[in-house]
Amino acid sequence: MAFSHPSLLFLFLTFLLMQTLGDAATCSTCFTQSRAAYYPNSDEQGTETGRCGYGPFGATLNGGDVSAASDLYRDGVGCGACYQVRCTNSYYCSDKGVMVVVTDHGSSHQTDFILSRRAFARMAQTTYAATSLIALGVVDIEYRRYPGQNITIKINENSNSPHYLAFVIRYQQGKKDITAVQLCETHNFVCKLLDRSYGAVWTTSSPPSGPLSVRMLFSDDDGDETWLTPVNNIPEDWKPGSTYDSGVQVNL
């Protein structure tokens, strides 16, 4: 391609630059550089007292591959989000890294993640390399949001039908965050907006009756919003402590 006039060449180069910057800004597969540590008092798995509201279940969620987050916690909006985290030292670290779920808030040594000891070790190529990573304590990493399992809903043990319902949402995927939740009666689609108690805990008094559909609002920093209704419903005879599979993974 030949340009007969300098201004045409300038316009063409400006277009290419703007397109490149736009692609970078909307890249859903790009990694962000950061650092990660691990819970120093962790035997292997996560904590049972995390600020996302998962309780004892938070220690074994995702097989124990969990993490506390600092800025990514965002007053609980980041709870339940899935991330691929991999360390960058090619001598010790695998290309795959580890998929973790945010279950807590915390930071250490300018880190974005404090992983469970199990998850920290799983970034390594081998068992020997994992021992070396653990000895380092803090490592350079890169991370990105990552599709994990189906979004699931766990009913809080303090729930009491028909007077009170509380649940946590886990395995939040995609680039957007869950910023609002509605609970809807499936036979007439009358919906009730829930309160975010803290972390990933959503609550309501006098919940709707019958099988219940959970509508989730996914939002990003640019103000783009999408309502999503899962395939599966919470059954009419829901029980405290039970877990229900939504039937959907989200890539919004």
Residue that wins the pLDDT comparison between 29 and 4 = 29
Count of domains observed in the chain: 2
- Output the CA angle 21-146-216, nearest 5 degrees: 95
Would you say residue 12 has pLDDT above 60? no
- Looking at residue 14, what is its pLDDT? 46
99: domain CATH number?
2.40.40.10
| 62 phi and psi angles, rounded to 5 deg | 60, 35
pLDDT band at residue 138 using 50, 70 and 90 as cut-offs: very high
If you average pLDDT over every residue of the chain, what do you get?
Answer: 88
Distance of CA 87 to the CA centre of its chain: 19
53, part of any domain: yes
CB-CB contact of 115 with 100 (8 Å): yes
Q: Which domain holds residue 113?
A: 32-145
Q: Examine the domain organization and report whether 175 and 119 are in the same domain.
A: no
Would you say residue 15 has pLDDT above 60? no
Q: Examine the domain organization and report whether 155 and 72 are in the same domain.
A: no
Distance CA 42, CA 153 (A): 26
Residue at a domain's end among 97, 130, 145? 145
Q: Is the peptide bond before 40 cis (omega within 30 degrees of 0)?
A: no
Cα–Cα distance list, 226 to 71, 133, 177, 203, 214 (Å)? 23, 40, 10, 21, 14
Would you say residue 5 has pLDDT above 90? no
Would you say residue 23 has pLDDT above 50? no
Three-state secondary structure call for residue 185: strand
Distance CA 103, CA 214 (A): 21
- Looking at residue 25, what is its pLDDT? 42
Segment 34-49 mean pLDDT? 85
pLDDT band at residue 10 using 50, 70 and 90 as cut-offs: very low
| 67 phi and psi angles, rounded to 5 deg | -155, 150
Residue 162: closest CA among 219, 221, 237, 110: 237
Distance of CA 42 to the CA centre of its chain: 21
pLDDT band at residue 172 using 50, 70 and 90 as cut-offs: confident
Would you say residue 17 has pLDDT above 60? no
Q: Examine the domain organization and report whether 126 and 171 are in the same domain.
A: no
Would you say residue 243 has pLDDT above 70? yes
19, part of any domain: no
CB-CB contact of 173 with 144 (8 Å): no
- Looking at residue 57, what is its pLDDT? 84
Cα–Cα distance list, 230 to 9, 52, 112, 140 (Å)? 50, 22, 30, 37
Cα–Cα distance list, 249 to 209, 213, 221 (Å)? 26, 16, 21
Residue at a domain's end among 145, 179, 208? 145
Would you say residue 233 has pLDDT above 60? yes
pLDDT band at residue 24 using 50, 70 and 90 as cut-offs: very low
Q: Examine the domain organization and report whether 120 and 179 are in the same domain.
A: no
Q: What residues pair up with 11 in beta bridges, in sequence order?
A: none
- Looking at residue 221, what is its pLDDT? 86
Q: Examine the domain organization and report whether 118 and 202 are in the same domain.
A: no
Q: Examine the domain organization and report whether 155 and 231 are in the same domain.
A: yes
- Looking at residue 9, what is its pLDDT? 45
Q: Which of 2-16, 63-77, 82-96, 115-129 has the lowest mean pLDDT?
A: 2-16
Q: Which of 7-21, 33-47, 51-65, 111-125 has the lowest mean pLDDT?
A: 7-21
Q: Examine the domain organization and report whether 100 and 173 are in the same domain.
A: no
- Looking at residue 44, what is its pLDDT? 79
Q: What residues pair up with 153 in beta bridges, in sequence order?
A: 169, 244
- Looking at residue 181, what is its pLDDT? 97
Segment 60-75 mean pLDDT? 94
Would you say residue 26 has pLDDT above 90? no
* Alpha helices (H) along the chain: 6-25, 117-121, 127-136
Residue 104: closest CA among 38, 31, 159, 35: 38
